[in-house]
Structure 1
Amino acid sequence: MNTLLPTSLVGSLPKPSWLAEPETLWSPWKLDGDQLAEGKQDALRVVAAEQVRRGIDVISDGEQTRQHFVTTFIEHLDGVDFAQRETVRIRDRYDASVPSVVGAVSRPKPVFVDDARFLRQQTDQPIKWALPGPMTMIDTLYDRHYKSREKLAWEFAGILNQEARELEAVGVDIIQFDEPAFNVFFDDVRDWGVAALERAAEGLRAETVVHICYGYGIKANNDWKATLGSEWRQYEESFPLLQRSSIDTISLESQHSHVPMDLIEILRGKKVMLGAIDVASETVETPEEVADTLRRALTFVDADKLVASTNCGMAPLPRDVALGKLSALSAGARIVREEIAGAQS
C-alpha cells in the first residue's frame, strides 16, 4: 500500500458481549453450533467496519473467531490431546494447564482460511492475518512425543507454512507471526528460533511480520515487567538476527514501555511496526501522544518503512476503550503524515 505511516492493529479486539464474555482471555463462547458460526461472521463484519470507520489502513480480524491466539490454532491439529493436560511454566512467567503432544503433529484441514476468505469479502483495503509463531506454540504445550523443543518447532513451522500459503491464496495481504517467546528464550532464538520462523514464512508473496511484545495487560505480565528494570533491552538479542532474516517487518512494543527507542536502529532496512498504543492501560491516548511516539521513532527508521500499531492485542480491554485507542492511533499517524507532507512541499 502507498499510504505513508499506515495504521494496523497487532492482534485481538474485544468481542461483542453477545458472542463471548467481555474483558476476559479464553472467554467461553455464548453461542454454539450454527448460531456460533453465524455469530463469528457477524463479529468479523463489525470489527472490519469499525476499523475502517476509525481510520485503520490494514484491516485485521481482531481474532473474533478464536478464543486464544495460540491455543485455537493448536486445537485444529492432530497429535495434540487436550484431555491429557499438564501444568507448565509459560514463557518463564506463570503456570498454566496445557494440552499434551502425544503423537506426530499434523494439520488435517485449514484452520482460519474460511474466516480469512470472509474477512476479504468485507473490505477492499489490505487485510492482515495473525498466526502463532513456532516457538510460542511449543511454549504453550507439554511435549510427550518429540521430547525436543527444536524438533517440535520445526514440525509446527511446516504446518504454519501450509496455513500461511492458503491464507495468501484467499487474498490475505500480510501474514503476521506472533513470537512473544522471542523476548524470553534467547539461546533458542539464536540457535533455531529465527530459522524456524523463516521456514513458516517460506515461499510467501504476502508481506510477512513477526510480532514480539511483552504480553497482554494481564497481572502475570505486568508483574514480570515490574522486574525488568528501567530499560527493557530484550530486543537487542533478537533484532540483529531478524534484521538479517527474510521476514519483511518487525513489530515491537513501545508506548509506555521501557524499551529504548534507539534499539530500532538495529533493524535499519526492515519495515518497523511500532506499538504506539498501550494495551495495559484503559486510558485512551491522545492523538498527540501517539504522534510524539511516532516522531521519536523516525530518528531511527525511514518514514516509508514505519507502520503505526498497538503494543499487543486488546481483548481484555473494555470495548469502548479499545475502539477509542484505534481512533487515537489513526489520528496520531495522520498528524505526523501531514507534518511530513508539509516539510516536503
Structure 2
Amino acid sequence: MITHNLGFPRIGKKRELKKALEQYWQKKISKVDLLDQAKQIRQENWQTQHQNGVNLVPVGDFALYDQVLSTSIMLGIVPKRFQSNQSVLDTEFAIARGQSGGECNCAASDMTKWFDTNYHYIVPEITASTEICIDTAALVGQVKEAKSAGYQCKPVIIGPVTYLYLAKSTIEDKITFLPKLLEAYQVILDELAQLNCEWIQIDEPILTLELNEQWQHALTTTYQQLKKTSSKWLLATYFGRVDHLSNLVSKLNVDGIHLDTVAEQGNITEFVYSLPNDWVISLGVIDGRNVWKSDLVSIYQRISPLLNVLGSRLWLAPSCSLLHSPIDVNLEKNLNEEVKSWLAFAVQKCNELELLAFALKSKNTDDITKYSTPVLQSLVSEKRNNNKVKTAISALSTADFERASRFEQRQEIQQRALGLPLYPTTTIGSFPQTGDIRATRAKWKREELSDVEYQTAIKSEIASVIRKQEQIGLDVLVHGEAERNDMVEYFGEQLDGCAITEFAWVQSYGSRCVKPPIIYGDVSRPQPMTTPWISYANSLSEKPVKAMLTGPITIMSWSFIRNDIAREQVAKQIGLAIKEEVSDLADHGIGIIQIDEPAIKEAMPLKQSQWAKYSQWATEAFRLCSAHVSDETQIHSHICYSEFNDILASLIDLDADVLTIETSRSNMEVLEAFEQLTYPNALGPGVYDIHSANIPSIEWIKDLIVKAGEYLPKERIWVNPDCGLKTRAWPETEAALKNLVKAAQELRLEN
C-alpha cells in the first residue's frame, strides 16, 4: 500500500522562506542566497515526509511565491507589461508585487483566494496575443534534486483545465486558448517522463465544482488529446466530492485518481466502484486543512472493505496539500497539554498515514486505537463545552438579526451626526507595523515590559498615527492597530475557547504568513477586547475615529475550527461575542464601527447549489454583531479579493451602512456586478493597491472614483485604499494617502 502526499508547507519550520524573500526584496541577500535557502527547505521537507512514513514524496509543490504563478512562469505566460530584460526570478516577483522604476511602472497581477481556502494565488493573465514559451528548468531541477537525494518522488503540476479556469482573460471565450495550452502541457509531461518518473500528479481541483457543459467538455477533450507517456498520471481532486461528475471522471484517460474524503462526507465506496478497475484509487483520509488529530480507528473501519476489493490499488494520502497546515505540533511548548493532545500538524499527519497503513496491512489496530483515544476524550472535555454559551445561542430570536430602520433613514441620521463631506476619505484600519512596534509587543509578551510600560508605548503610537492622519487630511480616522499582531489572532487571544500557538504559521501569500487561532471549544468574550484603545484614540481628535473589529465569518474561516459541531454554530458563537464588543464601543461614544468580513466569499461552499443555505447563516452571523445598535451608529464592513457577482446578494443582506471593497487591481471592473444587482447602501471601492509599493497618482485615483460613479450615486461613494496598510512603509503610505485626499478634494470642487 502506497502512502503519498499532495504537497507540503514551504515556508520552513520558523518561516525561513519568508525571511529570505524579504531580505532579497530589500537587497540584503543575493539571488544565490535566496535559492540556497529554498533548496535547503525543500530537502528538509522531503526528508521530513520520508522519515514520517510517506513513500512517494511530492516534487514541484514548492514555490518561491505561489504555485499558480510558478506554473505561469513555466509556461512563459507573462503579461506584456512585465516583459523586459530582467531575470526570470525578478519577473516572477514583479508579477506578484508590482514594479516601479526602470523600464516598467506596472501594477501587480490580480490576487485572489485559492478555492475556499485562505491561501491567495496570482491570477494568470491571458489575451488573444499571449504566446507560450516553456521553461521547465525549475521543475526539472527539483525532480533531479529529489532523485539524486534518493527519494522516490512524484512531480506535481496544476492541470491545464484548472489553470485556464482560474485565469483572467480578455478573450471572449477563453476555452479557445486550450489547444495552445495543451501543446505546452504535452511538452512538460514528455519531459517529466524522460526523467523516469513513474507517477505524475496532475491537480484538477475544479472537478469539485458544479461545472457547466462547456467546462466539462474541456476536461474530456483535454484528457483525450494529451498523449500518454511512459509515466502514469494521477488525477488529483480535492476540496470536495466529484461524484456529481462520475460519468465524466470515469472516462478520463488517466491511471488513477485522488479523492478528498474529508471535505464533503458521502458514500465514497459507491463512487469508487464506478471507476475503472485498473485505476489506482488514492483516498484523502487525513484532513489536510485542519489541525485535529485523526480518529484513525473510524477511518480504518470505513476503508477496510475497500482494501479488500482494491488491494494494492488503494493508496492513502491527506485530503489535499498540507500547504494549508502548520508544520509540526512538537514545536509548541506553551499550549495547554490537553488541547495539544488533540492536535496533528503536517508532520504528524504524515505519520498518521504510516500508522493507518500499518494497521490496514497487518490487521493490528492496537497502535491506532491508542493514538485515537484523545480524539474521543476531546468530545466530552469540559474545555470544549460551555453551557452558558449554548443557552445564549438557543435564546436568539428574529429581532436579534435586524436593524431597526432602513438604510435611507439611517443615512440621514448618521450624516447629521457625523457631518462628513462628499467623497469622505478613510482607510481600512491598520497602519504600518514598524520594527519598533513589533519589538515592543514582543518584549511585553516576554514580560520584559510591564503592562503600564506597554500601554504607554502603544498609546504613544496611537497618538502619532492620529496626528499623521489629521495632517494628511483624512475625514474618518483610525487608531492604526498597533496593539494587534493579526486581525484574527488578536481576537483569538482574547476569546475563551481559543488557543494561540507559537509556531503554527501557514502561508497566506508570498512572504505573508498567518498564525490562525485554534478554536477548540465554545467561544465567549470574557472582557472588552478593543474598547480601551479605540476610546483613547477617539479622545485625541475632533474628527470621528472608526473602530475596527473582525467579523465572525472571517474569524471562523481564518482559524482552525473545531470539527465536532457545525460551522454555523461556531459562527454564531463568535457573532455573539463580537456583538458584546460592538455594544461596548457604542456605549463609549464610538460612532463608526467597522466589522471586517474579507472571508465571506471564500467561506462559501464550492458547489453553487449549497450557496443559499450558507449565505443565510453567514449573513445572520454578521447581523447578529450589528443589528442591535442605534440608527446613529454607522456600521462599516470590508471585503477584499472576491468575485462580487457570486456574493453580491449576500453583501446586500449584510446591511452594512458602508461597505469597502477591493477594486483597484481590476481597475473597477468588479463593479460591473452592480449592473445586474444594484447595491443599495454606501460603498468605498478601493482606489489603490496596498500590496504594491507603487504610489498612485492623483489623476489615477480620480479616474477610479469617476468610474465608480458610473455605478453608484456620488453621495454614497467613499474613498479609501483597497485594504489595510499594515505591511507598507510610512513614506509610501503618507505619499499615497495625500494623493487620495487631494483627489477627493478636487472632485468635490468639480461637483
After TM superposition, the score normalised by the length of structure 2 is: 0.40
Residues 255-266 of structure 1 aligned to structure 2 (within 5 Å): 255-257=664-666, 259-265=669-675, 266=677
TM-superposed CA distance for 1:161, in Å, is: 0.7
TM-superposed CA distance for 1:29, in Å, is: 3.5
Matched, 1:166 2:584: yes
Matched, 1:234 2:652: no
Matched, 1:66 2:484: yes
Change (3 A) 1:123 1:264: farther
Pick from 208, 219, 222: which aligns with 2:635? 208
TM-superposed CA distance for 1:85, in Å, is: 8.1
Structure 2 gap ranges (5+): 1-418, 605-610
1:49-83 deviations in Å (ceiling 9; x for gaps)? 11111010001112122111111011111111225
Partner of residue 339, structure 1: 750
Q: Distance between the aligned counterparts of 1:140 and 1:41, measured in 2?
A: 28
1:228-275 deviations in Å (ceiling 9; x for gaps)? xxxxx7111222232244321221111123643323453432100121
Change (3 A) 1:122 1:189: farther
SS in 2 for 1:68: coil
Matched, 1:198 2:609: no
Q: Relative to total residues, which structure has the larger strand share, 1 or 2? A: 1
Q: Distance between the aligned counterparts of 2:708 and 2:629, measured in 1?
A: 28
Q: Distance between the aligned counterparts of 1:86 and 1:51, measured in 2?
A: 35
Change (3 A) 1:37 1:256: same
Q: Match for 1:211: what amino acid? A: H
TM-superposed CA distance for 1:116, in Å, is: 1.0
SS in 1 for 2:722: coil
Q: Match for 1:82: what amino acid? A: I
SS in 2 for 1:129: strand
Residues 22-101 of structure 1 aligned to structure 2 (within 5 Å): 29=442, 32-33=449-450, 34-83=452-501, 97-101=515-519
Partner of residue 735, structure 2: 324
Q: Match for 1:201: what amino acid? A: S
TM-superposed CA distance for 1:157, in Å, is: 0.4
Residues 133-152 of structure 1 aligned to structure 2 (within 5 Å): 133-144=551-562, 146-152=564-570
TM-superposed CA distance for 1:98, in Å, is: 3.2
Q: Distance between the aligned counterparts of 1:183 and 1:307, measured in 2?
A: 22
Q: Match for 2:739: what amino acid? A: A
Partner of residue 596, structure 2: 178
Q: Distance between the aligned counterparts of 2:551 and 2:602, measured in 1?
A: 14
Partner of residue 225, structure 1: none
Residues 250-329 of structure 1 aligned to structure 2 (within 5 Å): 250-257=659-666, 259-265=669-675, 266-329=677-740
Deviates more, 1:60-69 or 1:142-151: 142-151
Q: Distance between the aligned counterparts of 1:95 and 1:315, measured in 2?
A: 13
Contact 2:658 2:684 in 1 (8 A): yes
What is the RMSD of the two structures over their aligned residues, measured on CA atoms? 2.4
Q: Distance between the aligned counterparts of 1:69 and 1:296, measured in 2?
A: 30
Matched residues, number: 315
SS in 1 for 2:718: strand
SS in 1 for 2:690: coil
Contact 2:492 2:500 in 1 (8 A): no
Q: Distance between the aligned counterparts of 1:310 and 1:284, measured in 2?
A: 11
Q: Relative to total residues, which structure has the larger helix share, 1 or 2? A: 2
TM-superposed CA distance for 1:308, in Å, is: 0.3
Q: Distance between the aligned counterparts of 1:17 and 1:143, measured in 2?
A: 31
SS in 1 for 2:582: helix
Deviates more, 1:306-315 or 1:32-41: 32-41
Change (3 A) 1:109 1:156: same
Pick from 244, 249, 272: which aligns with 2:658? 249
Contact 2:505 2:514 in 1 (8 A): yes
TM-superposed CA distance for 1:169, in Å, is: 1.4
Contact 1:59 1:128 in 2 (8 A): yes
After TM superposition, the score normalised by the length of structure 1 is: 0.84
Query: Once superposed, which parts of structure 1, at least 4 consecutive aligned residues long, lie more than 6 Å away?
Result: 84-91
Identity %: 23
Contact 2:501 2:515 in 1 (8 A): no
Contact 2:637 2:660 in 1 (8 A): yes
Contact 1:78 1:104 in 2 (8 A): yes
Change (3 A) 1:334 1:30: farther
Q: Distance between the aligned counterparts of 2:503 and 2:727, measured in 1?
A: 25
Q: Distance between the aligned counterparts of 2:643 and 2:461, measured in 1?
A: 36
SS in 2 for 1:105: strand
Q: Match for 1:42: what amino acid? A: S
Q: Distance between the aligned counterparts of 1:189 and 1:331, measured in 2?
A: 41
1:91-144 deviations in Å (ceiling 9; x for gaps)? 9xx986533223221111000110011011111111111111111101222233
- Rg comparison, structure with higher value: 2
Q: Distance between the aligned counterparts of 2:741 and 2:555, measured in 1?
A: 31
TM-superposed CA distance for 1:28, in Å, is: 5.3
Matched, 1:115 2:525: no
Change (3 A) 1:83 1:307: closer
TM-superposed CA distance for 1:89, in Å, is: 8.5
Q: Match for 2:662: what amino acid? A: E
